[in-house]
Amino acid sequence: MSSVLVISGSPSRTSKTERIGEHVAQRLATSGRTADHLRVRTLPADALLGADTRAPAIADAIGRVAEADGIVLATPTYKAAYSGLLKAFLDLLPQFGFAGKAVLPLATGGTISHVLAIDYALRPVVHSLGARHAVQSFFLLDKHISVVDGQLSVHPDSAEPLADVIEQFSKALDGVPHSTVLGRTA
């Protein structure tokens, strides 16, 4: 059984990014696959910013990354790049903390003019962590995401391509036999 960890990096409690992360986790948690969601903003701030990897909640979060077969990174776009909050957590992972894993990079943003930030800024970080397979990324316009009565709604122009990248990520997760992945990362 494969497992996925969604890591969302918005500082806001009412974040659309976080809602998308939750949505993706639910979509991926099917047919014998578990999907969990780590909201970086819920980690203890002092330990996170002080890089205290021995703090129990931080150590636990790092352990959840280590155990996952697939990682989804969901970040808002700030200052033409990923959020500092997300990066502060990635900074605490071991040097090749994504080795053997499939990774799906997702970003949200107010304007389509930020779309390249995900491939120019986030993807090199993902590869420095040694990811086995970082699939095509996806950028969601904020205005395509709405929450009505607690229910997430994604505009059709974004919903279909989002479903596609989730499907591709799903195949990337399963594409290589599990034993091979273990062998390669051992």
Q: Residue 35 or 98: which CB sits closer to a copy of itself?
A: 98
Q: Residue 37 or 41: which CB sits closer to a copy of itself?
A: 41
> Checking DSSP bridges between strand 151-154 and strand 145-148, what pairing results, if any?
antiparallel
Whether the CB-CB separation of 137 and 172 falls below 8 Å is answered with: no
111 binds a copy of itself (CB under 8 A): yes
Q: Residue 23 or 133: which CB sits closer to a copy of itself?
A: 133
User: Least distance in Å: CB of 91 to a copy of itself?
Assistant: 4
127 binds a copy of itself (CB under 8 A): yes
143 binds a copy of itself (CB under 8 A): no
Among 121, 154, 162, 166, binds a copy of itself (CB under 8 A): 121
Among 58, 71, 81, 154, binds a copy of itself (CB under 8 A): 81
Q: How far apart are CA 53 and CA 43, in angstroms?
A: 12
Q: How far apart are CA 149 and CA 139, in angstroms?
A: 24
Among 26, 124, 146, 163, binds a copy of itself (CB under 8 A): 124
Task: Give the binding-site size for a copy of itself (rule: CB under 8 A).
Answer: 55
What radius of gyration do the chain's Cα atoms show? 16
Which stretches of the chain are DSSP H helices?
16-28, 45-49, 56-67, 84-90, 117, 123-128, 156-175, 178-185
